[in-house]
Structure 1
Amino acid sequence: MQPAPTVLVSGAGVAGLAAAWWLRYFGFQVTVVEKAPALRGGGHAVDIRGVALAVVQAMGLLDTLHTHRTRLAGLSMLDRDGNEIRRDDSRTFSGGRLDSPDIEIFRDALCRILAQAAGAPADTYYDEQITAMDPDADGVSVSFARHLSRRFDVVVGADGVYSPVRRQALQAGDDCLLPLGGALAFYSAPNRIGLADREWMYRDAELGVVVYPDASGAELRVGAGFGADVDAALRHDVAAQKALARDRMHGLGGRLQPLVEALDSTEAFYFGELVQVRLPRWWQGRVVLVGDAAYCASPFSGQGTSLALVGAYVLARELSRSPDAPAAAFARYQARMRPYVELNQALVDMTRQGPVPDAQMQAAANGIALHDLHQP
């Protein structure tokens, strides 16, 4: 009996953890590496919609995710001084309609649930990353920053928008990024304003701010989107990122002012250029990409998490059909996913003032047939 094929997954975010779960389900030996020292805490609320709900149900996680979902009662639009000027009790900006079956959940909670479900902690290495890959017809020899080189049958790059795996294996760097003309700063702040069960939003022509409490109520998650030209230096300079966010949020007062002041002290801070990843091909040889590394739609699509969950399933399913012919599996994976990806990337309209129209969102969220989801 031949040993199970070995797969290295680079990245322990939603795409990487979901891919690890499905690959193990289909009998592969999976190793996960993540450059962060542990699962990342903090982060914004993400959404699971449409066919992605069927994927997490097939994983046996639907009830658990429902238990940990956000519990917001609606949206309050504010002026620059934090005064409510309009409210909507039927939806939030981040999560959409409250009467939908969609699940909004904090990213860190989702990753904890996926990591626990994926199991095999002995085969997950944090504070580790790929330094070199040497692919040939039969596998990929991989060198790591902290461990000795190992050989794998397949490497999966689930390492985000600026994917090192993509750069090494596909020679695709920033040229595959489609800038959307802005940046997003997301951070945690103490809940000193008593925000309990609502989402706050402020928006003008140059700035959009979304605020909501975390699951404990003790902290707030704050997102600020604004126009910016992001270069390579800014991507790696947290102090400059915070300074830019503070400058763009200057002038917010009243109940919003403490959120601006919290930028200086917060440690849970994320900053990213608003881009989409557009690649003609998501694989090369025995190396393949999944999630944002292959087809980031940007946070403004509201569909990045669903794309990652569905993509992880489709990739693992197709690889299970022809484990000895990964290139053919990767080609089928891309052919199945490409129309779905394009529908979801088309959701992004940086000139739109309100949420994505419900009909367009539903069409994109259900834009792929998973007829084989419940097959052996």
Structure 2
Amino acid sequence: MSTVVAKKVLISGASIAGPTLAFWLAKYGFAVTVVERAPALRLGGQNIDVNGPARKVVRKMGVEAAILAQNTTEVGLQIIGQNGEVAGEFPKEASLTGTRELEILRGDLVRILYDCSKEHVDYRFGDSITDLERHPDEVSVTFASGITETFHLVIAADGVRSKTRQLMFGDEPQFKSLGLYIAYMTIPRLSTDNDWWRWYTAVDRRVLMLRPDNKGTIRASVAFLEDSSETDQKRQPDEQKSLLKAKLAGAGWEADRIRQAIDETDDLYFDEVGQIKAPRWSDGRVAMIGDAAYCPTPISGKGTTLAIVGAYVLAGELSRHERHGDAFAAYEKLMRPYVDEVQKLPPGTPKLVYPETKFGVSVLNTVAGIVASKSVQKVVGLFSSDDADEEKEGIDLPNY
């Protein structure tokens, strides 16, 4: 009597897309290994939200309640004026708001996805893929640890700067820069802080944001527009800190507080903002998902959604197609239109919300105040459904 051997799948990256894909593949009977370069789960990061069709997916996974339980406590978005006043306010119940019901810290979501998949998935931390050798029936993988192992399929889920993608596709995927740089960090919470996401626009194309978390601290971010030829995201940490402190000089509001915290924080993240425009997401027995394949930028607010939905779709297609090539083709056919739609940023983004002059900042804040008014919110609400927004997204999720 013959024994059916489960297909071995290697996933590179244990952030959001990787563990989600691992969960579903293991559920469908695949033998799944996840390799992560970091020595343990990377639990840092800022506020993210699980919206649109991703909420359907986490509900199917049985973790929606766990995500709700880790809510960041954020109550909505406040636009802060040039004198520190509230120029506009968008409660999370409003029709137009940046705060969602499933608002969670990135690290908390990573932990939830890991916990729900670890029992049936082989997680290997402190290692990474250094070479891929492709054969008709398998892929031979060499790891930084020195071992070599074969897998039926290899999936890159290791983010916008994916090293695995480079091994798979060379320089083929294109990183489209928006000329925007952003830094995230955790800073101490003060008695003057509140539970709003506070957005402050300074002159010279700078934005400062403070957001609450459920850890008793504040998540701060600094964003600015700059010629990419003049700013290098590969700078050493000390150089990044010096650059950020220079950018904060004279910005006003909480700039001095953030500037001081830069030297004390141990979780500073600094990078260039852009999109990944890949002409294809698979090649033979290798493929990619999430930010590695189609990063939409944090501006879209859909990076987490695409990661979760893409993982669900890829696993589902692999479960119902005998040939991996057919599964990869079906995955791309379903996901590509949705990704293209999500990656369409509003005209003028991001320059319109990063004005250079004091007058420009004043106009932006005035517009925000008008949009935030009860009368405008009421009109917008007439055209908005009270149902969960997953029903309004541009993809019809199959039931695998």
Q: Is TM (by shorter chain) over 0.5?
A: yes
- Matched residues in 1 for 2:228 and 2:130: separation? 25
Aligned match for 2:336, one of 335, 338, 351: 338
Contact 2:159–2:292 (8 Å) recurs in 1: yes
Partner of 1:86: 87
Alpha-carbon separation, structure 2, partners of 1:366 and 1:122: 31
Quickly say closer, same or farther: Cα 1:34–1:210, change in 2 above 3 A.
same
Q: Tell me how far 1:273 sits from its aligned partner.
A: 0.9
After TM superposition, give the deviation of residue 141 of structure 1 in Å. Answer: 0.5
2:22 partner amino acid: A
Aligned counterparts of 1:239 and 1:223: Cα–Cα separation in 2: 17
Counterpart Cα distance in 2 of 1:260 and 1:319 = 48
Question: How do 1:186-197 residues align onto structure 2 when only pairs under 5 Å count?
Answer: 186-197=184-195
Deviation of 1:264 (Å): 1.2
Shift of 1:221: 0.6
Shift of 1:171: 1.4
Matches of 1:229 and 1:9 in 2, distance apart? 35
The 8 Å contact of residues 9 and 33 in structure 1, kept in 2 or not, is answered as yes
In the other structure, the counterpart of 1:52 is 54
Conserved 8 A contact 1:49-1:365: no
**Per-residue CA distance 1:303-353 (angstroms, 9 max, x = gap):** 000000000000001111124x21221111011000110111113521343
Percent of matched pairs sharing the same residue = 35
Residue of structure 1 in register with 2:220 after alignment: 222
Paired position in structure 1 for 2:263: 264
Q: What letter matches 2:393 in structure 1?
A: N
Match of 1:62 in 2: 64
Kept after mapping to 2: 8 A contact 1:52/1:306: yes
Counterpart for residue 234 of structure 2: 235
1-structure distance, mates of 2:60, 2:110: 17
Is residue 367 of structure 1 aligned with residue 394 of structure 2?
A: yes
Task: Single out whichever of 347-356 and 119-128 deviates more from structure 2.
Answer: 347-356
**Structure 1: any 5+ residue segments left out of the alignment?**
none
Give, in whole Å, the separation in 1 of the partners of 2:155 and 2:392: 24
Q: Which region of structure 1 is more displaced relative to structure 2, 65-74 or 134-143?
A: 65-74
Q: Alpha-carbon deviation of 1:196?
A: 3.2
| Corresponding position of 1:176 | 174
C-alpha contact (below 8 Å) 2:54/2:390 kept by paired residues: no
SS at match of 2:194: coil
Matched, 1:310 2:276: no
Secondary structure at the residue paired with 1:146?
Answer: coil
Is 2:109 aligned against 1:110? yes
* CA 1:84–1:228: 2 relative to 1, 3 Å: same
The alignment partner of 2:279 has SS state of coil
Say which SS state the counterpart of residue 59 (structure 2) adopts: helix
| Partner Cα separation in structure 2 for residue 370 and residue 114 of structure 1 | 20
Q: Aligned to 2:34, what secondary structure does the other structure show?
A: strand
Kindly report which structure 2 residues correspond to 1:257-336, keeping only aligned pairs within 5 A, or say none: 257-323=256-322, 325-336=323-334
Distance 1:7 1:346, change over 3 A: same
Q: Alpha-carbon deviation of 1:193?
A: 4.9
SS at match of 2:209: strand
Distance 1:79 1:117 in 2: 43
> Which whole-Å CA distance do the structure 2 matches of 1:67 and 1:39 have between them?
20
With the length of structure 1 as denominator, give the TM-score of the two structures.
0.89
1:12-70 superposed Cα distances (whole Å, 9 cap, x missing partner) = 11111111111111111111111112111221111111111100000001111111122
CA shift for structure 1 position 121: 7.9
Q: Deviations over 1:59-100 (max 9, x none)?
A: 00111111112222233332456x22324142499x9365x6
Amino acid paired to 1:143: T
Q: Which amino acid aligns with 1:86?
A: A
Secondary structure class of the residue paired with 1:125: strand
User: Hey, what does 1:351 align to over in structure 2?
Assistant: 351
8 Å Cα contact 1:42/1:187 also seen in 2: no
How far apart, in 2, do the equivalents of 1:92 and 1:168 lie? 45
Q: Report deviation, 1:290.
A: 0.3
Alpha-carbon contact 2:248-2:255 (below 8 Å) kept: no
Residue 248 of structure 1 deviates from its aligned partner by 1.5
- After superposition, what is the alpha-carbon deviation per residue over 1:232-282, rounded to whole angstroms, capped at 9, x for unaligned? 963252222222222212113454421121011211111121110001101
Q: Which amino acid aligns with 2:224?
A: F
* Conservation of the 8 A alpha-carbon contact between 1:74 and 1:87: no
Gapped regions of structure 2 (runs ≥ 5):
354-363, 372-379
Q: Distance in 1 between matches of 2:104 and 2:5?
A: 38
- 1:250 counterpart residue number: 249
**Residue equivalent to 2:28:** 26
Q: Distance in 2 between matches of 1:92 and 1:167?
A: 42
Specify the SS of the correspondent of 2:233.
helix
Give the corresponding residue for 1:185.
Answer: 183
Q: 2:190 is aligned with what amino acid? A: R
**1-side partners of 2:277 and 2:157: how far apart?**
15
Q: Which moved more, 1:41-50 or 1:254-263?
A: 254-263
Q: CA deviation at 1:294?
A: 0.3
Which deviations, in whole Å up to 9, do the C-alpha atoms of 1:149-192 show, x marking residues without a partner?
1100000100111211111111136x611111111111111113
Distance in structure 2 (CA, Å) of the matches to 1:243 and 1:155: 39
Change over 3 Å in CA distance of 1:121–1:370 after alignment to 2 = closer
